[in-house]
């Protein structure tokens, strides 16, 4: 058949999922896959007016783009055209018809080509029709999304590396700063990077899943596979039901998430994501450290592996485990009688220094490790779906990025010396003896308890019925389940976070001595009390006419019940009975931060190092809320009085009554009800009702300046400025910023460190939210001596009336766009 006849056939017989060398696709036209799952065409992301060629789900109500061609070269009008050039390449032209903005850039012979959008979402260029040779495919050049049947990894024959890169923002699909790609040093595994910095890793493949992703396993929806041979090293997955949509995406906020489209709810549901807690971050506890996120909020998540001790004890005391651990100074681990201690449910260490042998079993693996003085530990190389272990991995250097899961993971055997091994065996024997004693005692009193239970069953049943009637205060669609407790015992952290104890009103009345005024904590509805078991508590009692109604109360309870971090206040339970609504918190003896920094006497005891630790602690708590928790939380009322201090002066963020939950990829939201505190609100929130993580960043910047200066922003009134922000900005421009520092810090502070903090505060308070850093950026800048970008003028820089550049309206109240700030609903 001649080329001319083939061209005619392609022109008149082409399906709507295909274009040929004599056809083009203009802006406004689309290709749709044969199963109508995917569409290809020009689109504008988010609020942008730029045009990009992309592929998206055709039947998903929320536009979900899975691939973008000209991601760094947008077209600023609707002149875009996709077509073949005379070399057989797909090209995109914009206004300039001579120079393409994008091309497949391959070399192929012949003059007849076609491009087809397959049912998998893969755009494929064939030589000839769809039965010809594949010349190019979009699956080889992924953007931020991995689809079923797509491969990520390296083709060892062509050196093609397929990896994911995030968008710059929701409005800009350009190549962002986050990437997910394979690391071939050691045993292959995938890393999530921020630039060149390793953020998180999957752990090595163990035959069933990545060892660092316990949630990942073959299921009724997906099968996962990993290939490592002479041709390629890659991961992929296959979906069993084509009607179910699945994707894995690297977000512009720095997370990677596996999602399933839920048709009934019309939204993407996260199956797993990373990093999801502080232990997920690469080498959070340093070399030879072990991270355990299941510890309670007051405990340090980092521990040393058996046989090791902190390298820098002072840093560990300050809850910074990044320096890692070193071997204890004893006889060493290459002597007689040393052995191994098993660490269960572990994420296997980074395999940079590991050796693999798939031909031997676990017993032989132990022997091989003992033969080598450099071997620090071992594990099985693979496990089957039935849990059978095989193969051998031995580590011959520092054990990096090890963590402990509550479920999943693998057994890791740590090499220890004879002393450590003897201590471990002794403790195991002691536990065994205690177990025998406990079993005898339990069996002896079991009959007695049975009789007591039988006698009290009728009474308890009657009480339960009455308690249910009294406590039907939460609607059936509440996202939190509550466990009723009549005695007021402390919350058991071994239970799921979603279960929150409900205290009886009589218990709280007794604990607070009938809400005695002598137990009151300052102004507002907080008081102290002591439970029957001796535990001190703080009780937040909402007045019957409180501005925080049932909705806000349910919001605060629901949120805090799910949040666990050492820099967030810990909720023990709640009481909702009759007309009372109360929250029961852990008692923090030093009360709130404002009682220190705004009091000259108490503030003098708060030297610079402690203030800096408080600043850093608040930043870490906000990073958890914005990024690391299971929910993305916008606090909306971050201020000094909502930061509480424990006995060691560690900060804990409190009061989540105005907080909002954001979706994983949600950037901002709008409200008609602006709530918060004047002086801490960002301009876009105060005047437009727009709130986001960046509005919290603004509040943090104000709080940071208040901690440094010991002065309130919203009551500052001197030197021709109506607020602290304006005064600091003026001093910064005159290079006199240190004049703002609290006089009590003169002897204890480092001028460079203070200036750096002031600079960070100004960056946080820039007028436009897009200019402000994220809280993770803030925490990084606080902890590292990096070059900071220059700050633009902050928002709300006002002078007094009559001063230079004064801005006065409506009787003297500072105003922007004719909206008087004093009209904002504040708390």
- How many C-beta neighbours within 10 Å does residue 630 have? 14
| Confidence check: pLDDT of 663 > 90 | no
The Cα–Cα gap between 315 and 157 comes to 47
Of 569, 822, 795, which Cα lies nearest the Cα of 702?
795
Residue 817: pLDDT over 70: no
Catalytic residue among 144, 280, 401, 637: 637
Q: pLDDT tens for residues 49-59?
A: 999 999 999 98
Express as a percent the part of the chain with pLDDT over 90. 43
pLDDT tens-digit profile of 521-569? Answer: 554 456 788 887 778 888 887 766 555 566 666 666 766 677 778 898 8
* Cα end-to-end span (Å), the chain: 81
The Cα 267–Cα 263 span in angstroms is 7
User: Between these two residues, 148 and 185, which has the higher pLDDT value?
Assistant: 148
**Confidence at residue 570, expressed as pLDDT on a 0 to 100 scale:** 82
Helices 693-709/608-623 angle, 10° precision:
170
Q: What is the pLDDT of residues 177-228, one digit of tens each?
A: 999 999 998 889 999 999 999 999 999 998 888 989 988 766 667 788 899 9
Provide the percentage of residues in the chain whose pLDDT is more than 70. Answer: 78
DSSP code string of 700-754: HHHHHHHHHH---STT--BTTBSSHHHHHHHHHHTT-GGGGS-GGGTTT--HHHH
- Please provide the size of the chain in residues: 827
pTM over 0.85: no
Task: Supply the DSSP symbol for 341.
Answer: E
Distance CA 601, CA 604 (A): 6
Region 690-708 average pLDDT:
93
- β-strand partners of 197: 194
Q: Given a cut of 80, is residue 264 above it in pLDDT?
A: no
Angstrom distance (rounded) from CA 569 to CA 555: 15
Distance CA 762, CA 771 (A): 11
Least confident among 95-109, 417-431, 575-589, 603-617: 417-431
Q: Are strands 660-662 and 668-670 parallel, antiparallel or unpaired?
A: unpaired
In this prediction, residue 827 carries a pLDDT of 39
pLDDT of residue 547: 52
Q: Contact, 676 vs 637, CB < 8 A?
A: yes
The predicted structure's pLDDT at residue 559: 66
Q: How far apart are alpha carbons 797 and 804 in whole angstroms?
A: 11
The pLDDT of residue 518 is: 62
Indicate whether 610 pLDDT > 60.
Answer: yes
- CA-CA distance, 629 to 653, in Å (whole number)? 14
* pLDDT value, residue 651: 94
Give Cβ neighbours of residue 257 (< 8 Å, ≥ 6 apart). Answer: 248, 249, 251, 270, 271, 272, 273, 274, 664
Exposure of 250 by Cβ count < 10 A (0-12 exposed, 13-18 middle, 19+ buried)?
buried
Q: Is the pLDDT of residue 481 over 60?
A: no
Distance of CA 661 to the CA centre of its chain: 13
Set out the domains of the chain in order of their start, with CATH numbers: 1-141 (2.90.10.10), 144-276 (2.90.10), 280-416 (no CATH), 481-586 (3.30.200.20), 594-823 (1.10.510.10)
Beta-strand relationship, 289-292 and 402-404: parallel
| pLDDT (0 to 100) of residue 325 | 95
Catalytic, 292? Answer no
Residues 149 and 236: beta-carbon distance below 8 Å: yes
Structure confidence at residue 13 as a pLDDT band (50, 70, 90): very low
DSSP-assigned beta bridge partners for residue 20:
114
pLDDT at residue 445 greater than cutoff 90: no
* Neighbouring C-beta atoms of residue 297, cutoff 10 Å: 16
Residue 660 has pLDDT above 80, yes or no: no
Is residue 151 pLDDT above 90, yes or no? yes
Average pLDDT, the chain: 81
The segment with the largest mean pLDDT, out of 69-78, 438-447, 496-505, 656-665, is 69-78
- Kindly indicate the confidence band of residue 442, based on its pLDDT and cuts at 50, 70 and 90: low
pLDDT at 822: 30
Gap between the Cα atoms of 538 and 477, Å rounded? 28
Rounded Cα–Cα distance for residues 416 and 422 (Å):
10
Under 8 Å between Cβ of 104 and 136: yes
Nearest-angstrom CA–CA distance, 233 and 182: 9
- pLDDT at residue 797, as a whole number: 76
- CA of residue 217 relative to chain centroid, distance: 22
Range list of H helices, 663-723: 683-688, 693-709
User: Cα(88)–Cα(459) distance, rounded to whole angstroms?
Assistant: 84
pLDDT tens, residue by residue, 334-375: 767 789 999 999 999 999 889 999 899 999 999 999 998 889
């Amino acid at each position: 058949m001649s080329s001319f006849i083939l061209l005619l056939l392609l022109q008149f017989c082409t399906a709507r999922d295909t274009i040929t060398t004599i056809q083009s696709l203009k802006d406004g036209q689309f290709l749709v896959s044969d199963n109508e799952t995917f569409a290809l065409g020009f689109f504008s992301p988010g609020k942008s007016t730029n045009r990009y060629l992309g592929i998206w789900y055709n039947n998903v109500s929320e536009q979900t783009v899975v691939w973008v061609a000209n991601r760094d070269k947008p077209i600023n009008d609707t002149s875009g055209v996709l077509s073949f050039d005379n070399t057989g390449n797909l090209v995109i032209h914009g206004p300039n018809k001579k120079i393409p903005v994008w091309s497949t850039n391959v070399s192929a012979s012949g003059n007849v080509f076609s491009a087809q959008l397959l049912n998998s979402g893969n755009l494929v260029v064939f030589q000839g029709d769809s039965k010809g040779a594949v010349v190019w495919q979009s699956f080889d050049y992924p953007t931020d999304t991995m689809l079923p049947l797509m491969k990520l990894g390296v083709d060892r024959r062509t050196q093609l590396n397929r990896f994911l890169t995030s968008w710059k923002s929701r409005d800009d699909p350009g190549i962002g700063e986050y990437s997910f790609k394979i690391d071939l040093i050691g045993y292959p595994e995938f890393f999530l990077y921020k630039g060149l910095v390793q953020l998180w890793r999957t752990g090595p493949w163990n035959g069933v899943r990545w060892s660092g992703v316990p949630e990942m396993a073959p299921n009724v929806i997906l099968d996962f596979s990993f290939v490592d041979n002479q041709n390629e090293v890659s991961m992929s997955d296959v979906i069993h039901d084509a009607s179910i949509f699945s994707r894995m995406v690297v977000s512009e906020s720095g997370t990677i998430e596996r999602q399933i489209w839920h048709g009934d709810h019309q939204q993407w549901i996260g199956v797993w994501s990373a990093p999801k807690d502080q232990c997920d971050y690469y080498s959070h506890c340093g070399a030879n450290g072990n991270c355990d996120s299941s510890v309670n909020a007051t405990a340090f998540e980092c521990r040393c592996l058996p046989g090791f001790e902190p390298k820098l004890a002072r840093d560990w005391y300050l809850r910074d485990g990044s320096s890692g651990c070193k071997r204890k100074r004893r006889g060493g681990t290459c002597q007689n009688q040393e052995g191994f201690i098993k660490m269960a449910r572990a994420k296997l260490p980074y395999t940079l220094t590991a050796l693999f042998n798939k031909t031997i079993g676990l017993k032989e693996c132990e022997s091989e490790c003992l033969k080598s003085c450099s071997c620090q530990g071992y594990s099985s190389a693979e496990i089957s779906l039935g849990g059978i272990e095989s193969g051998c991995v031995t580590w011959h250097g520092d054990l990096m990025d090890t963590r402990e899961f509550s479920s999943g993971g693998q057994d890791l055997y740590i090499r220890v010396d004879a002393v450590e091994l003897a201590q471990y065996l002794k403790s195991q024997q002691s536990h065994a003896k205690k177990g025998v004693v406990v079993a005898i005692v339990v069996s002896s009193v079991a009959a007695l308890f049975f009789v007591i239970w039988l006698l009290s069953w009728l009474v308890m049943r009657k009480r339960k019925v009455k308690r249910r009637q009294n406590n039907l205060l939460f609607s059936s669609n509440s996202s939190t389940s509550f466990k009723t407790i009549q005695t007021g015992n402390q919350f058991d952290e071994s239970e799921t976070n979603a279960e929150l104890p409900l205290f009886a009103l009589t218990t709280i009345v007794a604990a607070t001595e009938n809400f005695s005024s002598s137990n009151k904590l300052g102004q507002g509805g907080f008081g102290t009390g002591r439970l029957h078991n001796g535990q001190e508590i703080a009780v937040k009692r909402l007045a019957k006419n409180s501005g925080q109604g049932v909705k806000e109360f349910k919001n605060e309870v629901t949120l805090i019940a799910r949040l666990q971090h050492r820099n967030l206040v810990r909720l023990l339970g709640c009481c909702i009975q009759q007309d009372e609504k109360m929250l029961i918190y852990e008692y923090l003896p030093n009360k709130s931060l404002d009682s220190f920094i705004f009091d000259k006497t108490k503030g003098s005891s708060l030297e610079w190092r402690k203030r800096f630790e408080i600043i850093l602690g608040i930043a870490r708590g906000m990073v958890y809320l914005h990024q690391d928790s299971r929910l993305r939380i916008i606090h909306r009322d971050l201020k000094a009085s909502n930061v509480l201090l424990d006995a060691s002066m560690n900060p804990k963020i409190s009061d989540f009554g105005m907080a909002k939950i954001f979706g994983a990829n949600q950037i901002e939201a709008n409200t008609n009800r602006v709530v918060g505190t004047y002086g801490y609100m960002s301009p876009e929130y105060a005047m437009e009702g727009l709130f986001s993580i960046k509005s919290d960043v603004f509040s943090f910047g104000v709080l940071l300046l208040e901690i440094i200066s010991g002065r309130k922003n919203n009551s500052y009134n001197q030197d021709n400025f109506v607020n602290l922000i304006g005064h600091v900005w003026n001093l910064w421009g005159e290079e006199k910023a240190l004049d703002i520092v609290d006089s009590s810090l003169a002897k204890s502070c480092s001028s460079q460190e203070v200036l750096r903090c002031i600079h960070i505060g100004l960056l946080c308070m820039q007028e436009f939210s897009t200019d402000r850093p994220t809280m993770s950026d803030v925490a990084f800048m606080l902890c590292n001596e990096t070059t900071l970008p220059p700050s633009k003028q902050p928002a709300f820089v006002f002078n007094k009336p009559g001063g230079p550049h004064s801005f006065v309206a409506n009787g003297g109240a500072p105003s922007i766009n004719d909206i008087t700030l004093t009209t904002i609903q504040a708390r």
